[in-house]
Structure 1
Amino acid sequence: MEFKTTRNYALQLDQEDSLSRFRESFHIPKHTDGTDSIYLCGNSLGLQPRQTKDFLNQELDDWAKLGVEGHFHAENPWMPYHEFLTETTAEIVGAKPHEVVIMNTLTTNLHLMMVSFYQPKGKRTKIIIEADAFPSDRYAVASQVQFHGHDDKENIIEWSPRTGEHTPRIEDLETILKEQGDTVALIMVGAVNYYTGQFFDLKKITKLGHAAGAMVGFDCAHGAGNVDLQLHDSGADFAVWCTYKYMNSGPGSLGGCFVHERHASNNDLPRFTGWWGHNKETRFKMRDDFEPMHGAEGWQLSNPPILSMVAIRASLDLFAQAGFENLRKKSIQLTNYLEYLLSELDGDRISIITPSNPKDRGCQLSLAVKNADKSLFDTITAKGVIADWREPDVIRIAPVPLYNNYEDCWRFVDVLKSEL
């Protein structure tokens, strides 16, 4: 598609956008001058859907009127509430409904998954992660290695980019597995790297890992609601994600978990257990022996926090209306348009380190700033841009298809141009 650099062209694209109406479904933060800010930070925290307050008030009213009876008699009964989130969540991450569950928070879920899927034995004790993994993933992986009595410095293998490059190559992962595959117990990488925005080939990584005899899992924090993960078809053993970025559930909200169906009834897998993972038909009989539910639900611990799940449900309702396939199509075009505008800027002060092929990225573009100068970021922030700075030298921007539009992209680049 041939793009143009004028504002009128951006407005034209917005008029032609069949999903443009969803922008009105969100609260857009205001700049100090009263205009809409240029919010390009959905990769860090998604915006609040306008209907979230109504969804939340419904449960508050039912709690006030019904007390404990709300578990069965609320407008949306609390006992099965997490099940209301399952179908749309499964569609978004490309899974079967029994393979997903919303529970806990991301790193808690990662630990629960590694209890089951990181089982070091003999010389097979190592975990492969990407070199620039999100710190929480690195901490979690290191602590699991230590928990099993091994040295994390010797048992974590980093999959690194080549010298002078920003993103690792799949061929180099193949080399690692050829050389050390018989020592690897688990591959655990971010499906979309938080820093560069690179979307990895999950199916190929899984195939390589399984061929080497390792389990494979993914942190999809920057992938869920952003890219077409196709977790079931990837063959991954597990995946985890948060819902407060692209899924707009509010700060610190719950996470999600995927367990491939081949493990759905494997009761021999070690796991940390809690009563909400027990067979719901006999859960309240308070039996002594644990009988895990079929699928991902069998990894649940405690009864779910309804008031947090309400916000997820409010957002998922909008995803269902828009259709994830439609959102992904818009995301590709919107991000391509932003990339085009950035490519038309003069000078070499910024460069895009995110892969240029749409299949290798979501909506995030990471801009490396020459000489690691944060003053540019501070200046555009003062002019109404809400983006994200990551040390040592990157501004992360993410045009989210549910609420960002083409004019947002044009306005951002116009601000950037004035400062460059």
Structure 2
Amino acid sequence: MTKRPFRPAGRRPSPKQASAPGLAARRRACELVEAVLLRRRPLDEVLDEPTELDAADRALVRKIAATTLRRLGTIDRLLDSRLAKGLPDGLPRLRTVLRTGACQVLFLDLADYAAVDIAVRLVEADRKARGFAGLTNAVLRGLARDRELILGQLDPLDDLPAWLRQRWIAAYGEAETRAIAAIQAVEPPLDLTVKADAEGWARRLGGTTTPTGSVRLVDAGQVTALDGFSEGAWWVQDAAAALPARLLGDVAGRRIADLCAAPGGKTAQLAAAGATVTAVDRSARRLERLAANMDRLGLAVAVEATDALTLTGTFDAVLLDAACSATGTVRGHPDVMHLKSAADVEGLARMQARLLDRLGDLLVPGGRAVYCTCSLEPEEGEQQIAGLLGRDARMAVDPIRSDEFAGLAPFVTPDGFLRTLPSAWSHAEPARAGLDGFFAARLIRRPD
């Protein structure tokens, strides 16, 4: 990474003078990082809050906050190595400014002098921390000075919290876990599912197509400004998330319940393929967002704001995209690493089992179901299916075949399940590589 050098030293304006360009955005980035790490709020929830920042600054805020969370393990290790006496308790903003400043000088293509100068301003603006402005300046300048040496010695495993690193090494081995961590350190691409003509839309939007037929864009900018958005030609959906609905095969004319449906990417796939879809979610607010998405796309679906555990009726097919730990989505949602824990996996697995137990009642005899999670945890995938088969003799696995559609084969396991790993689809440009981690199993209700 070629970085812009420091400007010549000179007298810096005091915090009381006019706000420096970029200061408001960097302050907001600090607020987002603190909202996740100190107040345990999802990053997307905080990003949705109203702000007076323009589109460019909002993009900068997201990039700084997300990259800081993505590389937090490495950043903290480097800061700790340069703070022999540590930092005093009771100064959370000081640590946050150091974290976001280190993120900028090490991992983002931003001017070093601006990152350091504004970091010092932010510390000076904090009454309790202003005595550490000189330390902030020295630490961040030191990281910028040693950047090339630092970047040549990074271990991507440092960015994984211990609980996640240990679980993934146990499930996938150290080499695969390191590969997953390495791609998760890279800003993800934007994947789109199109109603028709993926190749044509890829050319039109300046993107490429994935092996499974999604359109992939890098540095796409504001989604709502992209060609085709207003006319509902496509919707945002990670390439891995687009696979489970396709495992139901030809759904034209079939009655399908999409459980835990919001925000509706899989609902849209099923409706666009001609299914009669009932989108079920217990959150009325999330269903409002789903309905708005369907309106934009010109797709008609029924919505039912109810808990899937109490849903009545029978269907030709069921898609169960169960709430999960979402550890397969860390690349795009790095807050997951810091908000979830092994205890969350255990609790979610119990709920998933209860949802799976409903399939036998909701399906007509001979009906199919697809169960999926955006999790890399075996307890939320393979182990769930084994548990269901032991509890409900009506249900059986309908093995997924590698030739069902283009690009599927690398993800089909020997047991006939689907398992995508974020490290798949290697590319010379890391920003174009990978996809979310997903598990899916296809099930069938035995005839009576």
- TM-score (structure 2 length as normaliser): 0.31
Q: Which has the higher contact order (CA 8 A, sep 6+)?
A: 1
- TM-score (structure 1 length as normaliser): 0.33
